[in-house]
Amino acid sequence: MTVQITNRLRPAIHPTYPRLLCAYLHERGFDNAVIFQDTRLQWEQLLGEHRYLSLEQMSRLIRRAIDLTGQPWIGLETAGVTSVSAHGPLGYAVVSAPDLREVLRVVSRYVGVRFQLVGVRFEEFDDHAVLTLDEQVDLAEIREFVTGSILATYFQLVDTVTSRRLRDVAVTLPLDEPAWAAEYEERLGCPVTFGTGQLTITLPAALLDTPCLTADPTTHRAALRDCEHQLRQIQSGGPLSQRIGVMLLDRDGDYPTLDDTAEEFAMSRRTLIRKLKAEGTSFQELLDDVRRELAAWYLLETSLPVERIAEKLGYQDPSNFSRTFQRWFGTTPLRMRRAP
């Protein structure tokens, strides 16, 4: 069970994107109490922390957003109004690129520094080029949100950096054609074919030489360095807070102390504290976050008694666990389990 939980909860999504989704819901008139109902997330948590969200956490928020808005195409909606700067160094590398070919190369190489659930391949042929989305995990129920977001982001980037609205493209989607299919062509302005194996964007090869109005060689070099640094960090296991979070998820109740963790990661206690602070967190916050997420998961997804859950999370006294649980979620473990 531990391996299954670790895979399910492994951080994968940059916190910027759930924040943007919540900001969109705020603009639609929903307050935080309504937005976060039954998601086991909090606005202060998203705003104040810098850790990647897990697929399960993001899925809960997306489900809630669709329920509130009645818009299964909400990925298209939110990404279409997101500024390029929201994508961090990746966005800056895109807007400063010399031409569309380099834009697509940058996106294909560095998409993982912001969104680890997918990979992107860029292939050039004699008369056309293809951008293909590869799922790194099974996106399941959030596939439409993710593919819609990627599509809208692509066109948003292209519209930002070029002098014309480049819609001489063909799009395929790995989704059954929905009743709201017209929303895609209306928002994207190009033909969309549903029911295919992967998301692809095919464009004429001649468009690749389209110059970028925002090209800036100095900014581009600096942004690429930042992207490369973040990519190497992720390839080595991700930011320190992310690696510690995954390690804690693997412990199944046998949680190390701060000193034990510093030793495991080959650094002093002081260095560990300093590096986590630079990432906007602390060891205790990481431990609390893991316990909070697993507590809700065990309660809602298993039939384990509350006493056994407390033990698995490292609480010797079930009453201490219940008090902590009520502080986290505003309810008791039994009430959460019995809720419809």
Residue 184 and residue 260 in one domain = no
Token code pair at residue 208: 């690749």
pLDDT band for position 132 (50/70/90)?
A: very high
Specify whether the CB–CB gap between 193 and 173 falls below 8 A. Answer: yes
Longest dimension (CA), the chain: 68
Supply the DSSP symbol for 196. Answer: -
Model confidence pLDDT, tens digit, residues 323-340: 998 888 888 888 888 775
Residue 89 and residue 228 in one domain = yes
Structure confidence at residue 69 (pLDDT) = 96
For range 50-73, the mean pLDDT? 88
Residue 112 and residue 228 in one domain = yes
Rounded CA separation 96/90 (Å):
10
Model confidence pLDDT, tens digit, residues 188-219: 989 999 999 999 999 999 999 999 999 999 99
DSSP-based three-state secondary structure for 201: strand
Residue 32 and residue 133 in one domain = no
Strand pairing report for 128-135 and 53-54: unpaired
Supply the DSSP symbol for 212. Answer: P
Residue 140 and residue 197 in one domain = yes
pTM passes above 0.95: no
Decide if 79 is inside a domain: no
Residue 94 and residue 229 in one domain = yes
Which of 202, 236, 270 is the last residue before a domain boundary? 236
> Is the predicted pLDDT of residue 240 greater than 90, yes or no?
no
Residue 147 and residue 26 in one domain = no
> Is the predicted pLDDT of residue 300 greater than 70, yes or no?
yes
> Is the predicted pLDDT of residue 8 greater than 70, yes or no?
no
- 99's CB contacts (< 8 A; 6+ apart) are 208, 209, 210, 211, 212, 215
Residue 89 and residue 231 in one domain = yes
Structure confidence at residue 1 (pLDDT) = 27
Question: Structurally, how many domains does the chain consist of?
Answer: 3
Specify whether the CB–CB gap between 237 and 243 falls below 8 A. Answer: yes
Domain coverage including residue 230: 85-236
Q: Which range among 149-158, 243-252, 268-277 shows the weakest confidence by mean pLDDT?
A: 243-252
pLDDT band for position 293 (50/70/90)?
A: confident
Specify whether the CB–CB gap between 129 and 203 falls below 8 A. Answer: yes
For range 242-247, the mean pLDDT? 81
Residue 129 and residue 19 in one domain = no
Where b means 16+ CB within 10 Å and e means fewer, 184-203 reads: beebbebebeeeeeebbbbb
Highest mean pLDDT among 20-29, 158-167, 238-247, 285-294: 20-29
Directed axis angle between helix 283-301 and helix 240-250, to 10°?
40
> Is the predicted pLDDT of residue 137 greater than 90, yes or no?
no
